[in-house]
């Protein structure tokens, strides 16, 4: 194992993780909107129809999104609270898109800092 | 191992246990819904004549459980058997099982005509009457299906049995036998009520099998996936902490982290 410090230790891996996170945040955001639309069309929770098919797919995409958050979080040294909060953002429609912009911006700054520092 | 990690481990274990239970709960929902789906779907299948679903001496047809069928023929009242002990609305009694000689094939079909609490009430219908039975198709019971009853089989009077075991009936009844039996829900004409009003119809049981609802099965696996993920998170955090602790020790207090 390479030696580890709190800030970014492997810049290339962190960049890769960031790309993966961005893709998954957009995917989860879209999946959530589709899910929300289906629920509204069906007229509420617990109704059958298209949500029967989409719900598990959305669940799976969300799971991969959570994996990508952890993957990125460990590489850029986030706290557990921060990771959990970002994971929970996946439950609020539209929020993943804003989180994606915010997180990506912060990590880019951090990456730039680790280059100069 | 720092106390913080132990506390977090307790939290992670709690999360894992609850997620596992939530997964099991979803799995049971999946089973219930699959069953409900099957029960809902089966009655919508068209009512068919018994001749077109199973044929005598062939395996029970796939998807035939719970199928609604009709069969026309004559009861062979002399071969009637009673299956006991059976319960209906909390009462102990007997299933009245009478072979119906199906008109179109000449084979015998075991029909549960109803339920009685006293064997004397199980009056067999007149043989002469042609009758059309509507009912629900069910596969025969296995010999061990109801286990050893408190009344040992040897102690049962003649013409009584503990299971609706078609392999016994095929030897007892002449001719060929359908590898299935029917819970009669209706007879035209109603020869059973005419012969003995005490015979109560036995409602067909809900299908025993049934698939799993795909949505809830997937939910179950997702809960378990998240439970495993929680364990991974904990392990990863402990490892990172240990590794960074080692690293800072080596650097002896070089403060490069904010």
Q: Which residue of B has its CA nearest to A80?
A: B237
Query: What average pLDDT does this structure show over B209-237?
Result: 84
- CA-wise closest residue to B73 among B104, B116, B95: B104
Peptide bond into B189 cis (omega under 30): yes
Rounded mean pLDDT of chain B? 77
Q: How many domains does chain A have?
A: 1
**A70 close to B (CB below 8 A):** yes
Cα distances (Å, whole numbers) of residue B242 to B68, B71, B239: 67, 76, 5
Q: Are B233 and A63 inside 8 Å of each other by CB?
A: no
Query: What average pLDDT does this structure show over B29-36?
Result: 77
Structural domain includes residue A112:
no
Q: Where are the beta strands (DSSP E) in B20-176?
A: 48-49, 68-75, 81-88, 91-102, 108-116, 130-138, 160-161
Residues of B in contact with A56 (CB under 8 A): 214-215, 218-219, 222
**B87 close to A (CB below 8 A):** no
Structural domain includes residue A5:
no
Which range is most confident: B151-155, B211-215, B232-236? B232-236
**Interface TM-score (ipTM) > 0.90:** no
When CB atoms are compared, the residue of B222, B226, B257 closest to A5 is: B257
Total-model pTM: 0.55
Task: Give A 15-54 residues with CB within 8 A of chain B.
Answer: 51-53
Percent with pLDDT over 70 in chain A: 83
Residue B102 has pLDDT above 70, yes or no: yes
pLDDT tens string, chain A, 117 residues long: the values are 333 345 677 788 888 999 999 999 999 999 999 888 888 887 665 555 556 778 888 889 999 999 999 999 888 888 888 899 999 988 888 899 999 999 999 888 888 876 654
Can you give the pLDDT at residue B57? 64
Structural domain includes residue A3:
no
Confirm if B241 and B257 have CB atoms less than 8 A apart: no
Structural domain includes residue A1:
no
Structural domain includes residue A113:
no
Q: Which range of residues forms the domain containing residue A37? A: 11-107
Residues of A in contact with B213 (CB under 8 A): 52
Report how far residue A67's alpha carbon sits from residue A60's, in angstroms, rounded to the nearest whole number. Answer: 11
Can you give the pLDDT at residue B177? 80
Report how far residue B69's alpha carbon sits from residue B183's, in angstroms, rounded to the nearest whole number. Answer: 10
Structural domain includes residue A2:
no
């Amino acid at each position: 194992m390479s030696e580890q410090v709190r800030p970014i230790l492997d810049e290339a891996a962190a960049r890769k993780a960031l790309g993966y996170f961005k893709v998954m945040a957009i995917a989860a955001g879209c999946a959530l909107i589709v899910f929300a639309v289906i629920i509204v069309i069906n007229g509420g929770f617990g109704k059958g129809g298209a949500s029967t098919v989409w719900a598990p797919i959305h669940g799976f995409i969300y799971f991969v999104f959570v994996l990508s958050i952890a993957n990125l979080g460990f590489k850029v040294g986030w706290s557990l609270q921060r990771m959990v909060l970002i994971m929970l953002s996946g439950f609020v429609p539209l929020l993943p898109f804003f989180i994606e912009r915010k997180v990506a911006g912060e990590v880019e700054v951090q990456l730039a800092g680790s280059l100069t520092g | 191992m720092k106390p913080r990690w132990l506390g977090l481990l307790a939290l992670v274990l709690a999360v894992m246990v609850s997620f596992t239970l939530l997964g099991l709960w979803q799995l049971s929902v999946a089973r219930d819904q699959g069953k409900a789906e099957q029960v809902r779907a089966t009655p919508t299948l068209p009512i068919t004549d018994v001749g077109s679903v199973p044929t005598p001496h062939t395996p029970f047809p796939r998807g035939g459980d719970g199928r609604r069928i009709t069969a026309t023929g004559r009861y062979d009242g002399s071969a009637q058997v009673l299956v006991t002990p059976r319960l209906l609305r909390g009462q102990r009694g007997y299933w009245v099982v009478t072979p119906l000689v199906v008109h179109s094939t000449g084979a015998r079909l075991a029909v549960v005509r109803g339920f009685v609490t006293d064997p004397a009430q199980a009056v067999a219908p007149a043989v002469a009457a042609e009758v059309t039975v509507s009912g629900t198709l069910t596969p025969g019971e296995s010999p061990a299906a109801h286990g050893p009853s408190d009344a040992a089989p040897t102690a049962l009077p003649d013409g009584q049995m503990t299971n609706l075991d078609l392999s016994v009936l095929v030897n007892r009844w002449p001719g060929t036998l359908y590898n299935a039996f029917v819970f009669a829900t209706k007879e035209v004409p109603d020869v059973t009520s005419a012969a003995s009003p005490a015979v109560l119809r036995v409602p067909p049981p809900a299908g025993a099998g049934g698939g799993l609802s795909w949505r809830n099965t997937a939910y179950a696996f997702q809960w378990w996936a998240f439970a495993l993920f929680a364990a991974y998170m904990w392990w990863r955090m402990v490892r990172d902490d240990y590794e960074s602790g080692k690293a800072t020790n080596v650097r002896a207090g070089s403060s490069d982290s904010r």
